[in-house]
Amino acid sequence: MKKTKIVAGIMATFMAATFLVAGCGKSAEPTTKAPAQSRIDEIKKNGKLVLATGNYRPFEYHDEKTNKLVGYDIDLTEAIAKKIGVPVEVKEMQFTSLIPTLQNGQADIVIAAMYITDQRKEVVDFANPYMDTGMVLVVNGDNNEIKSVKDLDGKVVGVKTGATSEKVAQDLKAKGANITIKSYKETVDYLMDMENGRLDASINDLLNQLEYNKTHPNVKVVGEPFTKASLGIAVKKGDKELVDLVNSVLKEMKENGEADKLYKKWLMGTKA
């Protein structure tokens, strides 16, 4: 009889312990995790879109009267921020600091007339190109003889030493173009020499040339670009949600004519 009571007591204790363990197991079940905050929601929560940019007229520069940073890239950033529903905070810096600032999370986006290159694509992600550029042939406004590379036979062409313009001219010569290449330290020097009749033509970056033309209307671009490069908007590597949003804004601006208006305003110096 005593033995039976002892066994029953042991069994009761075992069952109680089992119940407690089972109960504890239930309460220890992991709770469902809240979904990760989206990148756009994060920007909204911060209350601003942080832009890292440089100083390169006409894309971003200080207005002479107000000292306010203005330009094509600034207007473009405003359009992106408007889509998100937040204001823009601008961080102006040296060009070489732009990508590191993006990588360490101190900026959401970089828009600074930045060329899309394979090297840069290894460390940041780019939205679709928002503008194309390239090396072009430039002549004086009253020069109707030179309309393309085919008309450069026996001509003197100005370029910048060590720059892409010099490489383009050397490539033309290597392919049989009968030209004399004259290299200068600065772009403005050979453009001025051309205007003064010391050169027949020049080779320069299209966007840089359009800016020069605003204050030197007696020169013009002729023919098609020799090379092609694209300007892109950079975000942190893996920030696909922001890339998609930027692409949607670029698409809308192209379709509704806003992109063309900005180009005319900032690159051509004319009203839309």
For the residues 213-239, what does the mean pLDDT come to?
94
Q: Would the pLDDT of 6 be above 70?
A: no
Average pLDDT value over all residues in the chain: 88
Tens digit of pLDDT for each residue in 95-104? 999 999 999 9
User: What's the pLDDT band for 270 if we cut at 50, 70, 90?
Assistant: confident
pLDDT of 269: 81
Q: Would the pLDDT of 109 be above 90?
A: yes
pLDDT of 102: 97
pLDDT of 31: 54
Tens digit of pLDDT for each residue in 153-167? 999 999 999 888 999
Q: Would the pLDDT of 20 be above 90?
A: no
The pTM (predicted TM-score) of the whole model is 0.76
Q: Would the pLDDT of 212 be above 50?
A: yes
Tens digit of pLDDT for each residue in 121-156? 999 999 999 999 999 999 999 999 999 999 999 999
* Domains in the chain with CATH codes: 39-132+231-268 (3.40.190.10), 135-222 (3.40.190.10)
Report the 3 state secondary structure along the chain. Answer: CHHHHHHHHHHHHHHHHHHHHHHHHHHCCCCCCCCCCCHHHHHHHHCCEEEEECCECCCEEECCCCCCEECHHHHHHHHHHHHHCCCEEEEECCHHHHHHHHHCCCCCEEEEEEECCHHHHCCEEECCCCEEECEEEEEECCCCCCCCHHHCCCEEEEEECCCHHHHHHHHHHHCCCCEEEEEECCHHHHHHHHHCCCCCEEEEEHHHHHHHHHHCCCEEEECCCCCCEEEEEEEECCCHHHHHHHHHHHHHHHHHCHHHHHHHHHHHCCCC
